[in-house]
Amino acid sequence: MDIRTVTGGPLQVNTYVVSADGADSCVVIDPGAEFAAVEGAACGRRVDAVLLTHAHFDHMLYAMAWLRKGAKLYVHEKDAAALCDPELNVSSMMGVQLMLPEADVILHEGDVVREAGLELSVLNTPGHTPGSVCFLQDGTLFAGDTMFYGSYGRVDLPGGSNMQMAMSLKRLLVLDEGTVVYPGHGMKTKIAWERRQYL
């Protein structure tokens, strides 16, 4: 798997440009980093899809630029309404009104995203938002704001739940200890390291 990380935007979101090794297209996970920088990381490859780990404004700030170029938009069903609701996507807290069109693909627990040679399994991990998801393939987990290095995402925003976050973290901690976790903010981590934090 080819993974390139671009960090940017007002809240320093990790945007991931991901493809199968040697593929001529890629996907963008959480387009919160500036378009030009992410476009550079794509290295001329076609962006087939934008995958959202959740529908908060900082993780989809530059999504529209990719959609205009033909990328499909993926979001979990429980976060779909937040795409066009500034209160739910919390852009209104920043004094802006971010609104995206309806998603092309609505995700559910257990789905598999097949784009750019990838087969990413969808894990619904509520807590930060009801429709937060992680994408898992071959010992690599794109965790959004569900799991950070030594921490986890806020649970005090609309739709957040401390109890659901605890259950989601418990679910992730039983993954193979060698699983590498690419979070929505901050440095990457491993399941083995996070087990020491919680168990």
Taking 70 as the pLDDT cut, the residues of the chain under it are 199
46: left (phi > 0), else alpha (psi -120 to 50), else beta? beta
Task: Name the residue with tokens 């627990």.
Answer: 109
| Gap between the Cα atoms of 108 and 127, Å rounded | 16
The HSE-up count of residue 118 (CA atoms within 13 Å, CB side) is 32
Q: What's the whole-number average pLDDT of the chain? A: 97
- pLDDT at residue 199 in the model: 64
List of domains in the chain: 2-198 (3.60.15.10)
Digit-coded pLDDT (tens) for 74-83: 999 999 999 9
Query: Would you state the pLDDT for residue 91?
Result: 97
Q: Are 176 and 138 in contact (CB under 8 A)?
A: no
Contact residues for 82 (Cβ-Cβ < 8 A; gap 6+) = 55, 56, 88, 89, 129, 131, 159
Helical residues (DSSP H) of 111-181, grouped into ranges: 162-173
pLDDT confidence of residue 93: 92
Contact 187, 179 (CB under 8 A): no
pLDDT of residue 173: 97
**DSSP assignment, residue 102?**
P
The pTM score is 0.97
